[in-house]
């Protein structure tokens, strides 16, 4: 059985004090949730303060990016071991905003994914097609390339615990959600490709949907057999709405 995962991607929002306040509000609101794993991913500067709030609770901490080296002359970068030290157990990798604005490629996604595992962080690897790619009918081709190249050469248990987030770029922050059928179709496809890469692991990994997930659409999305949770931007910045998402019924 795959335990659902509801992940909040706070993106470049909130000061340290604001982040700690949100974490505090969330921890009491979701303390009774055990059927869903809950993850929040604040900015780097807020990680330590949020960790202090949620340590020992049912909320896990994640970062939004990392670099693949552990230390050295890489000005401005953050290493996997630093994230572990800050209390993280997860890290987002290859979010479409990083691919679009910061030159992230499938190759860097793959290096970062392996580096995350080496530091005992669980990577949440993001894939998704742009509007142009969907209109050109190359969604499946694009997704297959991202999955095969971004997730290649994983060893042992790593292949079974990686998390993939399918986020159609045209649905992120736009209010346009993929329909449950559209999302399910791609999720099932990702699972099939992944199972072809790592025999038997396709059924074990969690595949999250992201792109304008809100309290009013979460349950129909989560009812789909291959959707195992959500990666949520906008609606994760408010304690009430993220609590509703964390309490969705599968």
Residues near ligand PGA, by CB under 6 A: 9, 167, 172-173, 210-213, 231-235
Nearer to ligand PGA, 202 or 233 (CB): 233
Distances (CA, A) of 122 to 39, 68, 83, 163: 11, 14, 11, 7
Q: What is the CA radius of gyration of the chain?
A: 17
Report helix angle 139-150 to 106-118, nearest 10. Answer: 40
Residue 72 C-beta: closest distance to ligand PGA, Å: 30
Catalytic residue numbers, as ranges: 95, 167
Distance of CA 157 to the CA centre of its chain: 19
Looking at the DSSP bridge assignments, the partners of residue 232 are 8
CA distances to 58, 120, 162, 225 from 117, rounded to whole Å, are 22, 5, 9, 27
Q: How far is the CB of 243 from ligand PGA (least distance, A)?
A: 15
Hey, CA dihedral for 58, 210, 165, 112, is it positive or negative?
negative
Helices (H) and strands (E) in the chain, counts: 11, 8
Q: Which is nearer to ligand PGA, 198 or 212 (CB)?
A: 212
Is the CB of 9 or the CB of 65 nearer to ligand PGA?
9
Instruction: Please work out, in degrees rounded to the nearest 5, the angle formed at the alpha carbon of residue 230 by the alpha carbons of 228 and 233.
Output: 170
Nearest distance from residue 53's CB to ligand PGA, in Å? 22
φ, ψ (nearest 5 deg) of residue 129: -100, 155
Closest approach of Cβ 233 to ligand PGA, in Å?
Answer: 2
**Shorter beta-carbon distance to ligand PGA: residue 202 or 211:** 211
Question: Which C-beta is closer to ligand PGA: that of 36 or that of 201?
Answer: 36
């Amino acid at each position: 059985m795959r335990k659902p995962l509801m992940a909040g991607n706070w993106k470049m929002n909130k000061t340290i004090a604001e982040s700690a306040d949100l974490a505090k509000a969330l921890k009491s609101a979701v303390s009774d949730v055990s059927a869903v794993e809950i993850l929040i991913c604040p900015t780097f500067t807020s990680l330590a303060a949020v960790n202090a709030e949620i340590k020992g609770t049912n909320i896990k901490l994640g970062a939004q990016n990392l670099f693949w080296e552990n230390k050295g002359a890489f000005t401005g970068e953050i290493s996997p071991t630093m994230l572990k030290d800050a209390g993280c157990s997860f890290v987002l990798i290859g979010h479409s905003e990083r691919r679009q604005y910061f030159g992230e490629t499938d190759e860097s996604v793959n290096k970062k994914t392996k580096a995350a595992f080496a530091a005992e962080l669980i990577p949440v690897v993001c894939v998704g097609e742009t509007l142009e790619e969907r209109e050109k009918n190359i969604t499946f081709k694009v997704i297959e390339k991202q999955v095969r190249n971004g997730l290649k050469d994983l060893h042992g248990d790593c292949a079974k615990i990686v998390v993939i987030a399918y986020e159609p770029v045209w649905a992120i922050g736009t209010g346009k959600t993929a329909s449950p059928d559209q999302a399910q179709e791609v999720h099932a496809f990702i699972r099939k490709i992944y199972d072809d890469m790592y025999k038997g692991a396709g059924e074990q990994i969690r595949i999250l949907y992201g792109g304008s997930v809100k309290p009013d659409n979460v349950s129909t999305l989560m009812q789909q057999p291959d959707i195992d949770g959500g990666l949520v931007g906008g609606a994760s910045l408010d304690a009430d709405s993220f609590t509703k998402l964390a309490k969705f019924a599968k």
